[in-house]
Structure formats: C-alpha cells, structure tokens
C-alpha cells in the first residue's frame, strides 16, 4: 500500500501542514518520498481572503479579524439558497482577470 500513496488531502492547520512536524511531513518521512499536496480548498480560500484583507486594511492585531468573526456568528441566519460565487459575476470576473 505504501507504494500506492501519491498525494495527501488535508486541512491547513499546523498539525497537518506544519513544515517541521506536521502530519504531512511526518508521512513523507515515513514513506521515504515526496507526496503531492491537495490542501482543502475551503481553507485555501480563507488564507487568500485573509491575505487580501491584510493587504487592503492592514494586518489585524487580534487573532480573529472582527468582520470575519461577525460573519461567522451570523452564518446560521444567512439564506444560503440563493448563493452564487462572486467569480460567476461578470463584473467581478473582469476585475480579477
């Protein structure tokens, strides 16, 4: 089975993806080979969004960014049935590209 493992899918917490002692690094050492990393896209979006936010509004001093925390707390009340990703909006797509 060890020879069959080619990639890892994981969340991006330090426990999983830490460069020295993360689970992914430990598994690579155990298997004796580099693996293809497939981090969870949900968590990748969080990193990208946080980086954009920090670039535009300066790095927050608290662990949690207040606007993101408010959004998280109000998530249960949101109507998610009409959701469509911003990238599907023509104007946003043009601004990104």
For 65-79, what is each residue's pLDDT tens digit? 777 788 889 888 888
pLDDT of residue 32: 93
* Residue 27 exposure: Cα atoms within 13 Å on the Cβ side: 19
Find the mean pLDDT for residues 13-28. Answer: 84
Q: What is the pTM of this model?
A: 0.43
Torsion over CA: 77, 81, 82, 84 (sign): positive
pLDDT of residue 84: 78
């Amino acid at each position: 089975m060890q020879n069959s493992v080619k990639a890892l899918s994981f969340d991006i917490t330090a426990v999983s993806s830490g460069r020295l002692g993360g689970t992914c690094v430990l598994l690579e050492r155990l298997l004796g080979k580099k693996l293809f990393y497939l981090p969870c896209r949900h968590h990748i979006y969080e990193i990208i969004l946080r980086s954009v936010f920090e670039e535009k509004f300066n790095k927050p001093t608290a662990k949690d960014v207040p606007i993101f925390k408010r959004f998280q707390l109000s998530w249960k009340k949101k109507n998610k049935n009409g959701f469509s990703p911003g990238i599907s909006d023509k104007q946003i797509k043009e601004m990104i590209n």
